[in-house]
């Protein structure tokens, strides 16, 4: 079950964090993984991990906010069975403390970047007889998260785009779903804590971990397992859905 043998996958932001976890799991299940990364060195590191474990991968250095470059990159890949829209950046701030420049930066990467990949990949999937799209949203699209105004905006857009794409391409055999994680332990979290709470790293890590009712943060492999299922043939009856993976945060954090 959950074999991706013979499938060609594209994972944006596959050089670190959640994307890295998904790339490794997809490759272990037989997919040829195309890692799209602004940081080409990070992408190459993941490619080496995959190849060391007997998988196959390639890295494509690309800024997902540049539509012309994104289209050219996807066309160079050609056949695509799976797209994972994972590339994204975070921002801390409220509506009245978020600058226009920061708002635009979040929008260009998180929203326009995902749109650009959809714009480039859907015609290839249609020509290939179908495909699977998985977007990385967030619980921030569903619940209020303090000091995450621009980030929440971007993930709300991802949630809405998921439903729209799922509806529009039913007749083209293209499925589209999204995953909404709570806090995931990635290098970004460690960097955030180190920057904002110097000398209190262990204390803040524990506090952030306990904010999930299950008592810990997710790890990238937790997300990758769900991503694998949703992109596999075993999920062929699933489209137009969002899947919170949140340690009980939405329903139990009262």
> Which residue in 35, 16, 2, 18 sits closest to 219, CA to CA?
18
> Which residue in 231, 243, 166, 178 sits closest to 31, CA to CA?
231
Residue 114 has pLDDT above 70, yes or no: yes
Residue 86 belongs to some domain of the structure = yes
Instruction: State what percent of residues in the chain have pLDDT above 90.
Output: 82
Residue 39 belongs to some domain of the structure = yes
Residue 76 belongs to some domain of the structure = yes
- Enter the pTM of the model: 0.94
Residue 154 has pLDDT above 90, yes or no: yes
Residue 233 has pLDDT above 70, yes or no: yes
Residue 118 belongs to some domain of the structure = yes
Q: C-alpha distances in angstroms, 241 versus 70, 137, 185?
A: 26, 11, 24
Q: Taking a C-beta distance cutoff of 8 angstroms, is the pair 213, 247 a contact?
A: yes
Per-residue tokens: 213: 């009712």
Question: Which residue intervals of the chain are DSSP H helices?
Answer: 17-28, 40-52, 67-77, 100-106, 112-127, 149-168, 187-196, 201-210, 220-231, 249-252
**What CATH number corresponds to the domain at position 96?**
3.40.50.720
Q: Are residues 178 and 205 in the same domain?
A: no
Residue 252 belongs to some domain of the structure = no
Confidence of residue 254 (pLDDT cuts 50, 70, 90): low
Residue 251 belongs to some domain of the structure = no
| DSSP-assigned letters across all residues of 123-162 | HHHHHTT-EEEEEE--GGGTS--TTBHHHHHHHHHHHHHH
Q: Are residues 31 and 146 in the same domain?
A: yes
Q: Are residues 57 and 138 in the same domain?
A: yes
Q: Average the pLDDT over each of 160-164, 205-209, 233-237 and give the range with the smallest value.
A: 205-209
Task: Give the active site residue among 115, 151, 159, 169.
Answer: 151
Q: Taking a C-beta distance cutoff of 8 angstroms, is the pair 14, 43 a contact?
A: yes
- Within 8 A by CB and 6+ apart from 197, the residues are 203, 204
Q: Which helix (H) or strand (E) holds 181?
A: strand 174-181
Residue 59 belongs to some domain of the structure = yes
Q: Are residues 211 and 230 in the same domain?
A: no
For the chain, the farthest-separated pair of C-alpha atoms sits apart, in whole angstroms, at 55
Residue 154 belongs to some domain of the structure = yes
Is-catalytic flag, 249?
A: no
Q: Are residues 86 and 192 in the same domain?
A: no
Q: Are residues 199 and 90 in the same domain?
A: no
Number of domains observed in the structure of the chain: 2
Structural domain span for residue 198: 185-217
């Amino acid at each position: 079950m959950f074999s991706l043998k013979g499938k060609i996958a594209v994972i944006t932001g596959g050089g670190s964090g959640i994307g890295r976890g998904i790339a490794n799991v997809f490759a272990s299940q037989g997919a040829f993984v195309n890692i799209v990364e602004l940081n080409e060195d990070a992408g190459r590191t993941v490619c080496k991990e995959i190849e060391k474990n007997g998988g196959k991968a390639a890295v494509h250095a690309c800024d997902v906010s540049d539509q012309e470059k994104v289209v050219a990159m996807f066309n160079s890949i050609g056949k695509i069975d799976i797209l994972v829209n994972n590339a994204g950046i975070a921002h801390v701030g409220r509506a009245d403390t978020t600058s226009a420049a920061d708002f635009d930066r979040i929008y260009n990467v998180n929203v326009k970047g995902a749109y650009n990949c959809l714009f480039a990949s859907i015609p290839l999937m249609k020509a290939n007889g179908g495909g699977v799209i998985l977007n990385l949203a967030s619980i921030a699209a569903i619940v209020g998260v303090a000091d995450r105004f621009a980030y929440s905006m971007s993930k709300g857009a991802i949630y809405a785009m998921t439903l729209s794409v799922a509806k529009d391409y039913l007749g083209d055999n293209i499925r589209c779903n999204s995953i909404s994680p709570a806090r995931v332990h990635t290098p970004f979290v460690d960097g955030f804590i180190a920057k904002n709470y110097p000398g209190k790293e262990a204390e803040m890590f524990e506090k952030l971990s306990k904010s999930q009712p299950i008592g810990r943060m997710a790890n990238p492999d937790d997300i990758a397992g769900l991503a694998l299922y949703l992109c596999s043939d075993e999920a062929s009856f699933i489209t137009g859905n969002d899947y919170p993976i949140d340690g009980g945060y939405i329903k139990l954090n009262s």
